[in-house]
Amino acid sequence: MQKVLSSDLWKTVRVQARKARQRKAAIAYVTRDLVGFRKGDVLVVNASTGAITNGETNARLLRTLHGKQVRLYHCADLHAKVMLLDDAAVISSGNMSSSSVDCLVEAALLTDHASTVAGVASFIEQMIQQSEELDGKHIDRLCRIKVIRRGGPGGTSGHQRRKTRIARLGDRTWLVGVHELARDPKPDEERMIAKAMTNLRHRLGEMHEDLDWIKWGVKGRFVRESREGDSIIQIVRPRGAKRPSAVWRALPVLLKQKTKHWTRMYLPPPDDNCPKMHWGKFRQMLKSLGYSRRVGPYIVHLLENDMAAAIDRHFKALGR
């Protein structure tokens, strides 16, 4: 699916959001809930004093969303407008406002292309990490600010601030052979895993209680080049087995944790939207797609975007 939206932008987004299990967005200015946010969803906005005073972000809307248990974050230099609706991404010109619906000419891309979705997921996660979470007291203070609408960008001020830094976004797909481990990490590893899990669950909310990870070494192209936001298709080999048993559909890397001795890639847990394919069937599928490289239980392949998208379409067909 790949569509360019304009006059139908918010109507299409609303329909797509209604079908999604979770909605995440980084939208600079918000005055109306045009998405339909629910409990556990995430919204990053510009809730600076200037944006509130100028009427570009509505503090009372933030209070309403907070009452619905939407996780709200503030980034004063945010200007992006992106959304993640399960495995569909929207990259848009439109703020979440009445003028965007009624007056302005907007353009947006709606896509489920795996590399684009992974890039948007990476962008939003980086914004969450570097933004200030808005609690009830903060929102109450914002609601007391007098709104005086005037021209000019909201949230600007005379003093210098450290600009939010977005690392190069992961948007690639790796085909990787993994094997099941005896999950008995050493105490220092266990502490680092627990810290990473706690951090991710706080950021991602209730939808991601059972996070997973894969452990790797510290050398090689995969460790050197893989990024948060990249996707990994796992060829899984059970403990003690010589052959893989199944292949999991691509999952995004939520966090890359590297130490002197090992690297861990933290992933969301597989679910009904992430079906697995029998190893034999997966190899047949690759052959039908014209994939010429040798595939086995120990491989690390960086896939071309078109090949990654074709493989993902086959996995999606399993889940229908």
Q: What average pLDDT does this structure show over 176-181?
A: 89
Model pLDDT, residue 157: 46
Residue 154 pLDDT more than 60? no
Check pLDDT > 70 for residue 205: no
Banded pLDDT at 137 (limits 50, 70, 90) = very high
pLDDT for res 181: 76
State yes or no: pLDDT of 220 exceeds 60: yes
Strand partners, 251: 232
pLDDT tens-place string over residues 124-135: 988 998 899 999
**Tens-place pLDDT, residues 289-302:** 999 999 999 999 99
CA distance 95 to 57: 10
Confidence of residue 156 (pLDDT cuts 50, 70, 90): very low
pLDDT at 54 over 50: yes
pLDDT band at 317, cuts 50/70/90?
A: confident
Question: What is d(CA 21, CA 255) in angstroms, rounded to the nearest whole number?
Answer: 21
Q: Is the pLDDT of residue 158 over 50?
A: no
Alpha helix (H) residue ranges in the chain? 9-19, 49-53, 59-67, 98-102, 114-130, 136-143, 187-204, 221-225, 279-288, 305-319
The pTM for the full model equals 0.63
* Percent of the chain predicted with pLDDT > 70: 88
Q: Which carries the bigger pLDDT value, residue 162 or residue 136?
A: 136
Q: Which residues contact 159 (CB under 8 A, 6 or more apart)?
A: none
Enumerate the H helices of 20-174 as residue ranges: 49-53, 59-67, 98-102, 114-130, 136-143
Taking the C-alpha atoms of residue 122 and residue 196, their distance in angstroms, rounded to an integer, is 16
For the chain, domains (ranges, CATH) are: 2-143 (3.30.870.10), 173-319 (no CATH)
What's the pLDDT at 302? Answer: 96
Residue 79, pLDDT > 50, answer: yes
Distance in angstroms (rounded) separating the CA atoms of residues 1 and 309: 11
